[in-house]
Structure 1
């Protein structure tokens, strides 16, 4: 049977674009459909604009620090309009890069929605049908709004980059990394920031000591964090949004942002009709090679809800090409993935948290918390954390956790060592780089806890 294409990719985000580009460069006939903007969540409404907002929000603190170091200048007001214009110009530039990458590699693109018709056929929004030997689902995910009265008055991380003006105050609902990152961003930009989270501590799933310190530092900086708190209802009151919380509070805010979870973009895609199995959140079920139960259909990235990180989607896309088009069956390694969370203070983490590791085997914990030189000299009381979780039996470092400025940069390199199976003694043998914060990772001699 002949097909229009060897590969049809649905979704123009990081995973889909990488798979399409690499396959096309190998001479595979590839098409890709994207109903929104090229670049996906990461480039258009995630990592990239968020990190630029993190940078912008950190300058307010730098001015105070500079004065403490002897510089005599004053900060002006933050100009959201000017920043937003530059931000969106940069996103437009990056989208153009993605489009050019596809075009220069010979990928045919369709700027419209595509849905499945059968195991080898997709239908575009204009009604045309395209056939392909292989189909790759890479539609990504989206933030979800809770089901409560007045929820439509709120925004999500998608809309926060498009605000006409910064609010005077904002309520952020959620305790995951997106909620906590935007709490730091908005506070740093001068917005009075309140955060509600229904759980007992923010950043569920991360090392307890790490998330405890981050929450403490967020509160110290002036973010009004309420744990064990959710909202019951919202309604418009003048120019404000009235919010009633589970703790009995009734308050008014200019903006309410929900960061209460994400779902895969599998609605109305026709997947059930062609026999593609999905989980309870709508995630596409795949095997170790990203293949669905329908042999011609594969899926990568957030649509599979495995590890929802851009570099993971890219690796899954590469492994898909290796498996399907290069005759080299390749599994994606989802173990020991270094991760940065751009809270303020920043987190870098790789491997197991203390609690998770202790459930698996006897461990030793090496940790130190201190005031770093730069901030201490400026009169700030902020603390950083360096922590290693070590197996008693093998001496391998099972987890490394850093809370500090630049933690994301540090964990990338620490991640190499942990991925290689470095032992605590390997860390000890490494000479410290002085004076740095990260030198503490190799100078901790005695465990603080042992289980």
Structure 2
């Protein structure tokens, strides 16, 4: 068996692994990056970027419909094949560009599946054993399996993003952001969309009252949302599928559609790595790392991105964790991971976004805080857009005035919560934000409405 030695081996070329490999290559280290799928990872190829290409279409169509009573005439429609051709024109070149970016920095690229063989070695089929001073696990995540009969009849999120034609009816299994975003897209494009969720609460990573407002908005757009409907089985039915759920009073209910999508989220893609051979511990939510992004059980191994715990499966988090890894490899023990103020968004119409703590988290952590909340649909900003469902809930610590959490459903929510996220990260107070001379009229200015 041949053996090649590097300074650093990176497993995965996504937002975390790609940053690490490129920056360490620029720093003059001998780096190899191993990728078993497309160069670039989930976010640019099978996640954020293609999803947002479709979601932007959704916003434009639904925004025009919202303003039908404000002087906008005509009914926009989506030409799905044209939309998909545009998506491919944007997404397809990415993998080649990522591949070239590694070679431009002297990084060795290896296409294959890596498996640990020891505390500082991995094996890639056809190449033999590779060793390194440090190995970085940035393997990302894969769709979660439901472990129900007929599961293979469900489309994955990857397949949804590659549909050449839009089915006339679609079921989305799960009440997380994938199902909500995809159902919103499908409905705006003309499909009959239904969400089936196993428990009462949808979008558990987001504020509950605002999530319920979003459900109302989705229903107005023609999306049916059924909670407390755990899926029992999936069966073929004519030219589509039949999904059997357990409804109220344990009564079985059948839903039939041309296609069904598993939107049950993603799980760390670690099972094929043989982490135990490297002495690397993992938990239910990913590889266990410390504040310096090192394995808690093998300091030669680092981790970053969707496959590690603690963290959040978000691209900006992966980028921050990657920066921490790079700094600690170049200068040991020089950096700690800080994810305070992390913001996230559900790209539905309207967008639901958050930064910082949920109300229940703030209570569990013992904070004494006040909730500033209201119906944002009454703002002139939303009236002008014809947006009927909007709201906000801001958590402010009573003694210090610091913002603990910000939750907003409405236009440009993904940008507004970025402002709150920065405030949380840097300890800004309610008074600090109210003193800022925000541009007006703008949605940045609505920070004053939320804290007034």
Alpha-carbon distance between aligned partners in 2 of 1:205 and 1:374, rounded to the nearest angstrom = 27
Query: Unaligned 5+ residue runs, structure 2?
Result: none
1:383 aligns to what SS in structure 2?
coil
Q: Are 2:204 and 1:204 equivalent residues in the alignment?
A: yes
Matches of 1:71 and 1:205, distance apart in 2: 36
2:255 alignment partner, one of 251, 254, 268: 251
Q: TM-score, normalised by structure 1?
A: 0.92
Q: 1:79 maps to what in 2?
A: 79
| Alpha-carbon contact 2:304-2:321 (below 8 Å) kept | yes
Q: RMSD over aligned Cα, in angstroms?
A: 2.1
TM-score where L is the length of structure 2: 0.92
1:322–1:330 CA contact under 8 A, matched in 2: yes
Task: Work out whether 1:317 is the aligned partner of 2:322.
Answer: yes
**Alignment-derived partner of residue 213 in structure 2:** 213
Preserved contact between residue 15 and residue 316 of structure 1 (Cα < 8 Å): yes
* Corresponding residue of 1:56: 57
Paired with 1:363 and 1:29, the residues of 2 have a C-alpha distance of 50
User: Aligned residue for 1:399?
Assistant: 405
Structure 1, gaps ≥5 residues long: 447-451
CA distance in 2, matches of 1:210, 1:162: 31
Match of 2:150 in 1: 150
1:30-69 matched pairs, under 5 angstroms: 30-65=31-66, 67-69=68-70
> Is the partner of 2:328 in helix, strand or coil?
helix
Runs of 4+ in 1 over 4 A off after TM superposition: 71-74
Deviations 1:198-252 (A, max 9, x none): 2212111322222222122222222100111121111111102012111132121
Shift of 1:443: 3.6
Structure 1 distance, partners of 2:16, 2:451, is 42
Residues 220 and 5 from structure 1, CA distance in 2 versus in 1: closer, same or farther, beyond 3 angstroms? same
What's the counterpart of residue 288 of structure 1? 291
Q: Could you give the per-residue CA deviations for residues 151-205 of structure 1, whole angstroms, max 9, x where no partner exists?
A: 1100121211122311111111111122211121111121111001122121113
C-alpha distance in structure 1 between counterparts of 2:223 and 2:436, whole Å = 38
Judge conservation of contact 2:4–2:129 (CA < 8 Å) in 1: no
Q: Which moved more, 1:313-322 or 1:120-129?
A: 120-129
C-alpha distance after superposition, 1:244-295 (max 9, x if no partner): 11113212111111111322111121211221112135x2122211112123
Paired with 2:270 and 2:450, the residues of 1 have a C-alpha distance of: 48
349, 352, 370: which is aligned to 1:347?
352
Corresponding residue for residue 271 of structure 2: 267
- d(CA) in 2 for partners of 1:244, 1:148: 10
- Corresponding residue for 2:340? 335
Q: CA deviation at 1:79?
A: 2.1
Q: Given the superposition, is the C-alpha separation of residues 377 and 295 from structure 1 closer, same or farther in structure 2, using an over 3 Å criterion?
A: closer
> Partners in 1 of 2:440 and 2:316 — Cα distance?
31
